[in-house]
Each structure stands twice: as C-alpha cells, then as structure tokens.
Amino acid sequence: MARSICKPAAFRGGQWLMLLAVLTVLVGCSATRTALEMPRPLSAPPPSPAEPLFERVLIVVLENQDFEDAIRQSYLASLVPKGFLLREFHGLYHPSYPNYLAMISGRERSTRGDKQADLADTTIGDRLKAAGRSWRNYAQGYPGGDLAGDHESCYKESTYGPGRYARKHVPFLSYLKVDPESCLGIVNASEFDRDYANKQLPTYMFYSPDLDNDGHDPILFPETGLKKAAVWLQGFLDPILADSGFLRRTLIVVTFDESRSDGRINHIFTLLLGGGVVQGESSLPYDHFDVLRTIEWNFGLQPLAGGDGAAHVIADAWQAR
C-alpha cells in the first residue's frame, strides 16, 4: 500500500498546515492510500449470524481529527466506557472524499483533491434495498431531493454557505443508482428527528453533519473544530443513548473520515455503541472497509468490491448470545 501523501515538506508546524489547507482548496491533490501500522493476514470471515446482531446501524462521521486529540476530548472520552473502542482504527485516504466513497461502496477511488464525481458503482444502499431493507443519508443543510422527481436537485452544492453544507460529505450523492428519479434516500437531517419520533428509521443510516458541526475547519475557522463537534455530538447522541428500547437493537458508529496531521498513519477515533456491543476495546487495526464488511456480514450481504471483500469483520465487539 502506498504511503505517500500530498504534503509540502519545506514548512514546519502551523505553516505547512495552513499552506496545505489553501493549496487543497486551490489546486487539490490526488488521493493516496494510507497504510496501517500493523497489517494483518487475510482470513476467512466468520459465518453471518443466524439472525442479525443489530437491526439498524447509524454511522456518524466527523472530520479531520487525530486519534490522540479525540480520545482526550472530554465528551468523546466519556463515551468510551459505554462502548467498544477500536483503538487502532485508521482512515484509508487523504483527502476526505475518497474515504466517504469507500465507506459505502467498498472501492478505492482516486480523486483529484475533493473534486466530485458521479459514479455508477453499487453501494450498500443498493444491496440493502435488494434485500428488502431501507436506508437513508441524513445531511445537515442538504438543499435538494424534492418529491417532484427532479434528479438534478440531488446535486445542489452549498459549501460554506448558510449551514455550511458540503456535497462531498454526503457520499450517496455521488452514485447515479441512488433513486435516480426522486433521490428519496438522501434527505435533510431534520428528517432524522421525524423518523425517530415516528419509529420509522431505516435499517441503514448515514448521518453527515455540516461543516460547523463535524470538526472540519479548525485552521480556517477557529470557532469550529473538535470542541464544537463534541458539543453538537452530545446534543445529538445523548437522547438516543438514553433510549434503551432504541439502543437495544441498534449499532451506532462514531468515527472520523481522516486524521488532521500525519497522513501516512491516518490514526482516527472510532467507537461502536449499542445494546449488543461489548464494553471494551480492540487493538487490532481496522479501517472504514472493515466497518462496511461488518455491516454486510450482519445482514448476510455479499461484499461490494475489493476493498470490503478483503476486509475483516469486527467480530470481537459483540456480546455472547
């Protein structure tokens, strides 16, 4: 696996971080695969459970923070005893966008910076729909997806505008197979509260906070970053964690897309929460492909592509039944 990233070498500390942020916006750089520090041999996955270990999965993706910073943040640290910490979890790429694509497609996609693409690959949404299950991508500030069948409404972009919505963090928008006539699977995050109140949440939920709430911009926008992301996450998660009926059959994945600093290691915070999850931690190296493979394994679905097909099931996270 390649270990190089687009990173200026002649600057130190905050100087190169600022330069990197500016250059990424202006010219971009090709996505590069990062390396796990402790590679594992491939092994056959365990057989899927006779019945799913969880009936729903909620994935919340925050942005651009190193594991060492996240694990020291007070709210994230308070969540760790309640779930299963993947202590050696690594992002797949720099910059952000290919990580999001990998999370739902199982494919490595090299992109120029965060330049958006319209792709025809199969996603976990397609697999679930074929199996009679439902999915939604909830996105804060999402401006499109009307009910009139206007597919172009799926592709509106409002980065750094009101609400600081960014298409690149809403991965299902990149796939042409996503309900092409009405985009009903991609909705504004306000729909989550309605679905939750009406007990109509889908099997698979991908939640995309906006740039104010996901920790994305601590360099260019100092008022955001990890602290603000944690405040938002607490407001979002605490009511859910207090709902034992909901939590009993739900897997919640709190993760980041990539690290902020050392791109070759790309070490990020990822925690599993839910009624069936062991309280503890694993020191095995995992990544976004492994999370996708675990979801497929739980629901008896075949891998989508080479990334999740060669991934590992996170089999040590579940209580004996």
Give the CA angle between residues 93, 268, 2 to the nearest 5°.
30
Tell me phi and psi for residue 41, to 5 degrees.
-70, 150
Tens digits of residue pLDDT in 178-236: 766 557 799 899 999 999 999 999 999 999 999 889 988 766 666 678 999 999 999 99
Domain definitions of the chain by residue range: 35-317
Residue count of the chain: 321
Q: Which residue did the predictor score with more confidence, 8 or 169?
A: 169
pLDDT higher for 108 or 60? 60
What is the rounded CA–CA span in Å between residue 273 and residue 56?
Answer: 12
Residue 153's pLDDT is 59
More confident residue, 89 or 145: 89
pLDDT at 301 over 90: yes
Fold of 35-317: Alkaline Phosphatase, subunit A (3.40.720)
Helix (H, G, I), strand (E, B) or coil at 283: strand
What is the structure's pLDDT at 216? 83
The reported pLDDT for the residue numbered 21 is 42
pLDDT at 264: 77
Confidence band (pLDDT; 50, 70, 90) for 116? confident
Task: Please give the average per-residue pLDDT across 268-291, as a whole number.
Answer: 96
pLDDT at 14: 42
Backbone φ and ψ of 266, nearest 5°: 55, 45
DSSP, res 127 = H
The pLDDT, as a whole number, for residue 159 is: 58
Note the pLDDT tens digit of each residue in 18-57.
444 434 433 344 566 665 544 555 567 788 898 999 999 9
pLDDT above 60: residue 148: no
What is the phi-psi region of residue 73: left when phi exceeds 0, alpha when psi lies from -120 to 50, beta otherwise? Answer: beta
Per-residue confidence (pLDDT) for residue 300, from 0 to 100: 96
Mean pLDDT of the chain: 83
Place 163 in a pLDDT band, splitting at 50, 70 and 90: low
Q: Residue 144's pLDDT band (boundaries 50, 70, 90)?
A: confident
Residue 119 burial by Cβ neighbours in a 10 Å radius (0-12, 13-18, 19+): middle
**Cβ–Cβ under 8 Å, residues 302 and 106:** no
pLDDT confidence tier of residue 3, bands split at 50, 70 and 90: very low
